[in-house]
Structure 1
Amino acid sequence: MSKIPNKQTILIGGIKSLFYQKKGLPKSSTVLSTMLRNSGLPYWTAWYVPRYQIQNDLFAKSHFNFQVDEANYHVLRTGAFPFIKFHCSKRPVENLDLEDNFYNVLKMLNFGLPTLAYGISGLYMATHTEQLTVDGHDITIFFWYKENRASPN
């Protein structure tokens, strides 16, 4: 496993990723499914992944169903520069198109400024990290705190 990237590396990597996407990075959907499986398909989880470590194949998806093995998750996802933020809750499949469109319009109307603040706060307030290996790449997952994965709430 590689060492945990520092704040400067995450910020500079995030800026570079706005202009140049490194080839061969794992897809964010693959990181999402790997993280959920490695966590034992928890009831909920919320984490950040540095945007420069992944290929953002879920771009423009804000609230959607995501199937992992036998479990369905409602995923709230946002670009929270210099990260991408995921909040996942295990729930039955529902039509989330209205909410997805609402969140996308809301992000456009506020020019992404709240999501930028959310990302910068994650950069400074994350207190726990976990390492994943996905498609041969070491990925660092950031949490505000260590989660209790057995908790149903």
Structure 2
Amino acid sequence: MLISLYNYLFRSKIVPKASEILRCYIRQRNYPPWTSYFIRQYDCLNDQFGKSHFEFDVDGRNYHILRTGCFPYIKYHCTQRIKTNDLYYENRLYTYFKIFNLGIPTLMYGLAAIFLIRHYEIVNINQYSSVKIYFLIKENYDASY
């Protein structure tokens, strides 16, 4: 609710949900076996706040998502895998580590990414304008696991 209030009061533009950007990018890449990217927090509505490790369905294909907020970005690492029973405990473990470390490593990762990002791509969102996502290096689309 606080995130929605923040977006309502302080955002000057309507932005897509982070989950919709993830879904559109995976479709745009034709369901890659893996991908890893950053998105600026200001460019999306963080509808997956509090989720660090979870499963995400894109057109019947299951992806394991490792995700962290690393100001000023949100980092996604996505791997196509078979569906597991439950990632609840792994998600809680990653969240515990972030809290225990006071978020300092994720903050440092985000600040370092500002200087290390070398590539970006445009993701076309149906009902929104396009959104930039960022990479440390350009991904090799022919790569597999």
TM value normalised by structure 1:
0.84
CA distance in structure 2 between the partners assigned to 1:23 and 1:104 by the alignment: 30
Q: Give the secondary-structure state (helix, strand or coil) at the position aligned to 2:65.
A: strand
Residue 41 of structure 2 corresponds to residue 20 of structure 1? no
Unaligned runs of 5+ in 2: 1-5
Cα deviation, residue 23, structure 1: 5.7
Residue 103 of structure 2 corresponds to residue 112 of structure 1? yes
Contact 2:15–2:128 (CA<8 Å) still a contact in 1? no
Q: Residue in 2 aligned with 1:76?
A: 66
Instruction: Kindly provide the amino acid, as one letter, of the partner of residue 124 in structure 1.
Output: F
One of 101, 104, 112 as aligned partner of 2:92: 101
Unaligned runs of 5+ in 1: 1-15
Cα deviation, residue 79, structure 1: 0.2
Cα deviation, residue 118, structure 1: 1.1
One of 67, 78, 82 as aligned partner of 1:88: 78
Cα deviation, residue 115, structure 1: 0.5
Identity %: 38
Residue 114 of structure 2 corresponds to residue 123 of structure 1? yes
Residue 37 of structure 2 corresponds to residue 47 of structure 1? yes
Contact 1:53–1:139 (CA<8 Å) still a contact in 2? yes
Q: Please list the CA deviations of residues 34-70 of structure 1 after superposition, one character each: whole Å capped at 9, or x if unmatched.
A: 0111111111000000000000000000000000013
TM value normalised by structure 2:
0.88
CA distance in structure 2 between the partners assigned to 1:26 and 1:129 by the alignment: 18
Count of residue correspondences:
137
Cα deviation, residue 138, structure 1: 2.4
Contact 1:129–1:140 (CA<8 Å) still a contact in 2? yes
CA distance in structure 1 between the partners assigned to 2:98 and 2:72 by the alignment: 16
34-43 or 135-144: which moved more? 135-144
Cα deviation, residue 137, structure 1: 2.4
Q: Give the secondary-structure state (helix, strand or coil) at the position aligned to 1:102.
A: helix
Q: Residue in 1 aligned with 2:47?
A: 57
